[in-house]
Chain A
């Protein structure tokens, strides 16, 4: 459902000149799969997700989402995705129900099906108690559930989730994780960005470790273990980063 080949994004930086933030990355994500993009801050995860959500245009390479090319058919891509940014991006003066109504309309849901769907999502994410309270009065957990509800409202086949449990307490993070697992069971293609090792290990079917814009390794947990000889994802991850640092030092 997501096919990425040689995707590159360069930015012109005043101090550093032309810089590849994402450098020729390639991966595929199938339906019913959670693919984790694991990397430290500034590794290129968010830029990758933004390119797949058609917010940024790739400098080169190719990316297909649900069979649609992100540069050639951005509108078709946006109709297929549910995008959750790391900052949640909720309107603080609106209530969760109002936000859902706005995004339901933007996704082309008619008024009656929209009302029914809002009730469904509100019930599913246990939002009844705060669905009519303005977002600026909600806790981080409630906000994240609202953001997730907005992402899932139109039942998109592809979910692009950028650190959805960031800043959440353990029980709320657990609710979100359960929901993502349920989405996988219903056959959705999920691209999941995180820098939390335990979460990636628990949720993802396959993981790609990304650093300095390049994918260092891709595979299932057992494939990663076999390739690196390490047992824990944290060790694999740190080894890869250390290797990078050593290479940089010898250069």
Chain B
């Protein structure tokens, strides 16, 4: 193996790759612009819709039958706008109000307040929860007043207190949330980032008839394939680095909307440090090599660019499954699971970010991914030596 020839092929592929618009879009534009863009859009809608829902939730309907003492006053003091409605259910169904209250007589002749909500509407759910909590407090105050009147201590209602403490440090909390998203996003974009360069330097070369002069040069098939795989691997790693950077920036700036409220502060306070990011990249290197080898091997089968796209789309889709499974909470990596390609990296990234990865799992995943990359490289070379594949038209 002449490494100078590998380097010559690599240099040519890199030059060609950075002049190819499709490759640049998938490698750079998607992670740098699209990823923060998606976060910005999600953030905008989550915040603005949440704000709108909160405003809408303050307008509630109430029927004339609601006569339980103190209820109306408590609702008004809390900030609810009470709209008289003859039919509480109809008022909620017609979206005239977020929620509505009615009163009926229970079997024991006591009054029963019925809250009508539409759980498919966020404003209605918020209003329902707020009303329920308010009425619970009202009920409790009534009980406390009665107990005081009877000379019984209020403490009888709460014989002991309960306090829940989260032992997870900020870093772990940030890692738990970040790790599940990061592994999936990085793996998916890494494959798509390497896809176009891999197609361009194989099926694209076949289509443009540039492969023949290359094959007739002194470079062996192994040297040609290795140069191409290294170039495609570079594309994968570049995409992964940009995805990690843009995701971290996007989350720090925008958070993740309502469900991850405060995450931006958590990430800026306890986000991954340089060592963690370096460790993640180290984990990704053999996977990038594996991804590039597989994509080169598959794409060379195609007669042209479009056919290669059709062949590689299922490969990229197949990455989604183990990457998504790796996102699931509760799954913990062990030596056996560390042998499953893609899944092992998705899971390992989560554990590295949390700061609780096992060295054995790390080494197992790293070694197995290197092995898979070597197998894929060997298959690529075999395919590159197959005349019927290279010269079929």
Contacts and interface: CB of A to CB of B under 8 A. Distances in A.
A14 to B, nearest CB: 11
Contact of B218 (A87, A88, A92, A107): A107
A102 B4 CA distance: 11
Contacts of A92: 208
B209 A93 contact: no
Interface string B212-223: 111111111000
A56 B391 contact: yes
Q: Which of A53, A92, A102 has the most CB of B within 10 A?
A: A102
Q: Chain B: interface secondary structure?
A: helix
B11 interface: yes
Contacts of B209: 85, 87-89
Interface string A26-63: 00000000000000000000000010011111000000
Interface string B1-32: 00011011101100110011000000000000
A196 interface: no
B225 to A, nearest CB: 14
B212 A89 contact: yes
B210 interface: yes
Nearest to A86: B209
Contact of A78 (B12, B20, B217): B217
Q: Is the interface on chain A under 10, 10 to 19, 20 to 34, or 35 or more residues?
A: 20 to 34
B16 A54 contact: no
Given A78-B218, A91-B16, A105 B210 contact: no
A115 to B, nearest CB: 15
A42 to B, nearest CB: 12
A81 interface: yes
B217 A106 contact: yes
A236 interface: no
Residue from A78, A81, A87, A105 with most neighbouring chain B CB atoms (10 Å)? A105
A103 interface: yes
Nearest to B21: A93
Contacts of B215: 53-55
B212 A93 contact: no
A251 to B, nearest CB: 29
Given A78-B218, A85-B213, A107-B218, A91 B391 contact: no
Nearest to A82: B216
Majority SS at the chain A contact face: loop
B273 interface: no
Nearest to A160: B216
A174 B210 CA distance: 25
A94 B15 contact: yes
* Most chain B CB neighbours (cut-off 10 Å) among A53, A93, A98: A93
Contacts of A98: 15
A221 interface: no
A127 interface: no
A180 B209 CA distance: 23
B216 A57 contact: no
Given A75-B218, A78-B216, A89 B387 contact: no
A102 B211 contact: no
B118 to A, nearest CB: 58
Given A55-B212, A102-B11, A93 B20 contact: yes
Interface in B207-250: 208-220
B204 to A, nearest CB: 10
Contact of B213 (A75, A108, A150): A150
A79 interface: yes
Contact of B216 (A54, A87, A88, A102): A54
Interface string B368-388: 000000000000000000010
Contacts of B20: 93
A90 interface: yes
A93 B387 contact: no
Contact of A107 (B208, B210, B211, B217): B217
Contact of B217 (A50, A57, A103): A103
Interface of A: 50, 53-57, 75, 78-79, 81, 83-85, 87-94, 98, 102-103, 105-108, 134, 147, 150
8 contacts: A55-B215, A57-B387, A78-B218, A83-B216, A85-B212, A89-B210, A92-B208, A106-B217
Given A55-B215, A94-B12, 13 more contacts: A53-B215, A53-B216, A54-B215, A56-B387, A83-B213, A88-B209, A89-B213, A91-B210, A94-B16, A105-B4, A105-B8, A106-B217, A107-B218
